[in-house]
Amino acid sequence: MVTPENSKETDIETSIIKVDIAIVGAGPAGLAAAREVSATGATAAVLDSYARPGGQYFKQTPQTFRAKRPGRLHHDYAPAQALFGVAEASPRLTLRTNTTVWTAYGSDNGFSLHCYRPGESSLEVRAKKVILAPGAYDRALPFPGWDLPGVMTAGAIQTLAKSQRVLPGRRIVLSGSGPFLLPVAALLAESGANLAGVFEATRPVVMLRYGSAAWNGRAKLGEGAGYLRVLRRYGVPYRFGRAVVRAEGAGRVERVSVTRLNPDWTIMPGSLETLEADTVGVGYGFTPSTDLSQLFGCEHRYEPTQDASFALHDARQQSTKPGVFVAGEICGIGGSAVALPQGAIAGLAAALDLDPSLSSKSEANSRLARFQAEARQAQAFAGTLNRMFALRPGWQSWATPETIICRCEEVTLGKIQTAINEFDLKNVKAVKLTTRCGMGLCQGRVCGQAVSSFTASLTGRDPAETGSFSNRPIVRPVPLGELVQ
């Protein structure tokens, strides 16, 4: 059973709960893991920073917004409700929202996760196994004016429209690469937004090259075609091989420059056009939230097509660290179609490891095999999409020396260039220490990828050599009071 305890080590209170399995993240992966665990008799705690479960895919509206026709909130409404239902109904599961895991460690006795809860006592979760399902966040590439109010990520726009039911602006442009632009564009169009254009950086020739491999994902392609039909119905222009490479305005975005791109994504000379807009949504794929898996010492592998490192795992979703399971976007960008079966595998495998005499062991194993097949198929399609929409290095030419790269510490590209030349810096760590880029509150989440790429190309070295921002023992900013304990 879940056993709440209180320990008063200092005068600040910490609640402790002990469970068999701690699950970080209540997105598709974490909820699928919880569902499987709850069927085995093991206890689990599901922890999530947000106010409501669902993660990015099953993002919910606030509880105080009542929907008369809730079925229309999400095209996958029924599966989402089934997952939420498990977390609510099982006595062996405890779901803690508004709960951010800010540090964690393992010892011989198991794992300990420290959580910060705004306005409440802090929480320590002790568990025998850990399942990490923290998801990903969307990637923006720097260009002149990307720090103006009105430029935001495509994910921010989706969150505002889908969950908060508010439009981000009066005239919107979307720019980026990958299939995620489409649902955001369709959502905006159907919400009555004035969408002036959607610009997909990838060129159609590149897409054709992967045509036959994409056939594996007919169902998902069908979903994409549905979004395109919505855009056509609302007369929203959808253009390939183009991108927003500049935003301008006094105090906020007022207009943007759209250009045609060469195959390597450098700007095609003479193709710059100006468009009136007060909002730009940018989304160039996703960056996995691997801070906790790094902290646990799990091994990661750099994936060039996605320009990011992902947690390695075996067929049972166990990372290279025994007892730490990983699922969803931190294993490779694959969307909910991959996250759901991977989460289920992790949940089953962790529970099986805890109780080898599990009464329904053979049934659990055959369930496991089914989810493994499902995950493999979804991953194959996701891999095709990732290669198709991979970033091309020419995006680096969009920024000028005045362009801010690190938004938190306001470090420009020029400052990074000067530092590298003047001090003969050889890697990202040195660039960080010299320029302060990546040292702000976001801890390098927003600029990390850009700084790595710029450092590699400015030093003429391989990204594997120049490295990335190192990880910190504190994965999320917390008030000092939490640290005092």
Ligand X SMILES: Cc1cc2nc3c(=O)[nH]c(=O)nc-3n(C[C@H](O)[C@H](O)[C@H](O)COP(=O)(O)OP(=O)(O)OC[C@H]3O[C@@H](n4cnc5c(N)ncnc54)[C@H](O)[C@@H]3O)c2cc1C
**Taking CB under 8 A as the rule, does residue 481 contact another protein?**
no
Cα–Cα distance for residue pair 258/247, rounded to 1 Å = 9
- Residue 138 in the binding site for another protein (CB under 8 A): yes
For the CB of residue 154, give the shortest distance to ligand X in the complex, in Å.
7
DSSP string spanning 387-414?
Answer: HHT---GGGGGG--TTSEEETTTTEEHH
Answer whether 477's CB lies under 8 Å from 441's CB.
yes
164 binds another protein (CB under 8 A): yes
Give the integer Cα–Cα distance in Å for 428 and 77: 43
Q: Are 234 and 189 in contact (CB under 8 A)?
A: yes
Angle value at C-alpha 374, between 368 and 378, nearest 5 degrees = 145
- Residue 367 contacts another protein per CB under 8 A: no
Interaction of residue 323 with ligand X, rule CB under 6 A:
no
Comparing C-alpha atoms, which of 50, 20, 58, 48 is closest to residue 340?
58
Tell me the C-alpha distance between 214 and 380, whole Å: 9
Decide which of another protein, ligand X, none touches 30; Cβ closer than 5 to 8 Å per partner kind.
ligand X
Q: Nearer to another protein by C-beta: 8 or 72?
A: 72
Residue 54 CB, shortest distance to ligand X, in Å, is 7
Of 109-117, 121-129, 190-198, 457-465, the segment contacting another protein by CB under 8 A is 190-198
Measured CA distances, 331 to 58, 272, 316 (Å):
19, 38, 12
Interaction of residue 309 with ligand X, rule CB under 6 A: no
Cα–Cα separations (whole angstroms), residue 293 to 5, 47, 310, 312, 431: 27, 15, 9, 10, 24
456 binds, among another protein, ligand X, none (CB under 5 to 8 A by kind): none
User: With binding defined as CB under 6 A, does residue 336 bind ligand X?
Assistant: yes
Site for another protein contains 68 (CB under 8 A): yes
> C-beta of 100: minimal distance to ligand X in Å?
4
Minimum CB distance to another protein smaller for 275 or for 380? 275
Regarding 444 and contact with ligand X (CB under 6 A), the answer is no
300-303 and 308-311: which strand pairing?
antiparallel
Q: Mask 153-182, x = binds ligand X (CB under 6 A)?
A: --x--xx--------------------x--
| Contact flags string 255-274 toward another protein, x per CB under 8 A | ---x--------------x-
- Using CB under 8 A, which of 339, 446, 450, 456 touches another protein? 446
CB 18 within 8 A of CB 330: no
- Burial code of 167-203, b = ≥16 C-beta within 10 A, e = fewer? bbbebbbbbbbbbbbbbbbbbbbeeebbbbbbbbbbb
Stretch binding another protein (CB under 8 A), from 108-116, 120-128, 184-192, 326-334 = 184-192
**Residue 341 lies near ligand X (rule: CB under 6 A):** no
Please give the structure tokens belonging to residue 440. Answer: 């702000």
Per-residue contact flags (x/-) with ligand X for residues 393 to 412, judged by CB under 6 A: --------------------
Strand partners, 174: 198, 281
Token digits for 245? 């490479």
Which positions lie near another protein, rule CB under 8 A? 49-50, 56, 61-73, 137-138, 140, 147-153, 155-161, 164-171, 190-192, 194, 196-197, 237, 239, 251-252, 258, 273, 275-276, 278, 404, 407-408, 410, 440-442, 445-446, 477
